[in-house]
Amino acid sequence: MKKLYLYFLFITAFSQAQIPSNYYDTATGSGYTLKTQLYNIISNGHVDQGYGALYTAYQTTHNDDYYENDDTVLDFYSENPTPSATNNDSYNYDHGVRTCGTYDSENDCYNREHLMPQSVFSEAYPMRSDVHHVIPTDGYVNNRRSSYAFGEVSSPTWTSNNGSKVGPNTFGSYNGTVFEPIDEFKGDIARALLYFAVRYETQVASWSHTMLNGTSDQVFADWFLDLLLDWHANDPVVQAEIDRNNAAYNFQGNANPFVDHPEFVNLIWNPTADTQAPTAPTGLTASNPTDNTIDLSWNASTDNVAVTSYDIYVGGVNTYNTTNTSFTATSLSANTNYCFTIKAKDAANNMSAFSNQDCEMTTNNGSGGSECISETFANIPASASNYATRNWTGDNGGSWSATDARTDQNINGSEAITIRNGSLTTPTVSGGIGNLTVTTLRIFNGSSGTFNLKVNGNVVGTIAYSDTEQTITVPNINVTGNIAVVLDGNSDGANRVIFDDLSWTCYAPLNADTNEIKSISMYPNPVKENTIRFNTNKLLNIKVYDILGKLIISKSILPNSAYVDISNINKGIYLVKISSKNQSITKKLIRQ
């Protein structure tokens, strides 16, 4: 049962406030000018509610609505960010219950942890009671953190139940003892300390600590600033942190600008923008066509910092994205020519020039066994434990959507989508559907159950789940044409179910009397060389026509010499008629 608490200090002028849409309108500069502008913004309106009021504030600022979702205290030093039916938090605290006091070990009590130790500012206000950098933590772990700087530890001298560590620092030039929280909360802590540097800009130069450098502009020691920037970049803002920032604004009347505008961090402390674009990818080759797929490969681009990914254009339209230098374009139409180009981009979103163009024609074999779509959920939104609508671009392009879904759970370390009482909707793709396969796992508590499997709005089967990972295949769905799949109708809307590795095979049945001739492929296509070849075990009659219908080449070929010389035809588009006995098919040929 959710616990209710009353605290009359909350009945203030801003008790129902929200961060105004124009809150950052005067933040127009860069570098330390921007830092001072933000200082003026977040100092104005900050009302010190007092040290005792923090426990009440934590009911909204640090409530576990994201992991176990059990309304307990969200403690960075004890939270297990990947709970499961057999691996939840080692312990929890109810709000307002078991506040410290005395403690001898973890799970004795919780108290208020100052991310910037309060000894630094002699326990003065409002620093001592600023909820943006004073967080609830287990008292014993708080004590083990002591007043150490934050850092990274390879050989810990002590480790908490959730994996936070004390030991010698291995990040940068500092080698003293530090405290390292778990990865899940490093970005949160970094942005809280960056807030501290801005909010107390006019005082911080007089304070001393290993983390500080005695200035009011950079504020932090070089090594520690590098650490904060690294944590900020590698643990980006998620919905839980946004909600916490809104609740903090509601509590004390000011916000953390680095949660609302993460880009401010680099604008202040790393203002030299990366404007150099990567080099263009080279050697793009399209190959191995099937009815619905074409393989792509290319040479890696280079960049002054790093190439982060590649955008793949189909016919000039940005369609796919990958971090690799090879890719399989899927959901293509049979017997269709596709032309591809690639652009590289870096973390600053600088785009390279286009690669070379290469084209390939899909086959027309009518095979129902090829894979029409495959989704690993690697591109789902950033890890978040609350339930909301999630939208993303799939592995092979197209818009995917999940409702009443969270993104922080996985199966065997692989990203996956978790749905409660919602639905999973795929993009619409061509090629029909034969068999569908998906992996499921129910997490937390509940019972076994099913989701409906719908194709174009019609229920064609069910997808089972339980607390044991299982891969479900629904065979012989056999729907042709353009199709979209929806998983919905959870048999128990309280169950939380992970879905991963969803795929289905295409279905495009052919008449038996035409299947054999349609299975013959012509390659390469487009062709730059002087011959085209055919995979055949029979006599074929080949006729090549120009686009006006004029016969250019006529030749019969045998299986042991299944090629046609096209050295005498010019660049352009031609039609190739392939005949055998009473069957024939016409394919388009591009001569380059």
Which of 319, 344, 362 corresponds to the end of one domain? 362
Burial 361-391 (b: 16+ CB within 10 A, else e): bbbbbbbbebbbbbbebeebbebbbbbeebe
Whether 474 and 358 share a structural domain: no
Q: Domain check: are 351 and 440 in the same one?
A: no
The pTM of the full predicted model, rounded to 2 decimals, is: 0.51
Helix H or strand E segment including 265:
helix 263-269
**Judgement on whether residues 113 and 202 belong to the same structural domain of the protein:** yes
Q: What is the mean pLDDT of each run of 10 residues along the chain (592 residues)?
A: 32 56 94 96 96 96 90 93 72 95 94 97 97 97 97 94 95 94 96 98 97 97 93 90 95 96 91 82 88 87 83 88 87 81 85 92 61 88 92 88 94 90 92 88 92 91 91 84 92 94 75 55 85 82 74 80 85 80 72 85
Domain contains 22: no
Q: In the chain, what is the straight-line distance between the N-terminal and C-terminal CA atoms, in Å?
A: 71
Instruction: Find the CATH number of the domain harbouring 333.
Output: 2.60.40.10
510 assigned to some structural domain? no
Q: What is the pLDDT of residue 369?
A: 47
DSSP-assigned letters across all residues of 364-386:
----SSSEEEEE--TTSPSP--S
The DSSP line for 475-542 is: ----B-SSB-EEEE--SSTT-EEEEEEEEEE------HHHHHHHT--EESSSB-SSEEEE--SS-EEE
Same-domain status, 490 and 553: no
Co-location of 385 and 460 in the same domain: yes
Residue 560, in any domain of the structure? yes
> Are 286 and 221 in a shared domain?
no
Q: Is residue 21 part of a domain?
A: no
CATH code (residue 412): 2.60.120.260
Q: Is 53 exposed, middle or buried (0-12, 13-18, 19+ CB in 10 A)?
A: middle
For residue 61, being part of any structural domain is answered with yes
Residue that terminates a domain, selected from 270, 292, 315: 270
According to the model, what pLDDT value does residue 573 have? 80
pLDDT on residue 273: 66
How far, in Å, CA of 225 to CA of 208, rounded?
15
For residue 237, what are its two tokens? 């803002």
The residue range of the domain holding 546 is 516-591
Domain presence at residue 4? no
Asked if 48 and 91 sit in the same domain, the reply is: yes
Q: Which of 505, 528, 563 is the last residue of a domain?
A: 505
Asked if residue 173 and residue 107 are part of one domain, the reply reads yes
Domain contains 90: yes
Sign of CA dihedral 43, 49, 54, 56: negative
**Cα separation of 512 and 494, whole Å?**
49
CATH, residue 568: 2.60.40.3080
pLDDT at 480 (0 to 100) = 81
Please give the structure tokens belonging to residue 316. Answer: 């000039």
- Beta carbons within 10 angstroms of residue 261's beta carbon: 17
pLDDT of residue 516: 62
| Residues 532 and 498 grouped into a single domain | no
Q: What's residue 408's pLDDT?
A: 93
Q: How many distinct structural domains can be found in the chain?
A: 4
Q: Would residue 16 count as lying in a domain?
A: no
At residue 460, the pLDDT reads 86
> Do 319 and 183 share a structural domain?
no
Query: Is the same domain home to 245 and 298?
Result: no
Same-domain status, 488 and 442: yes
Residue type, 465: Y
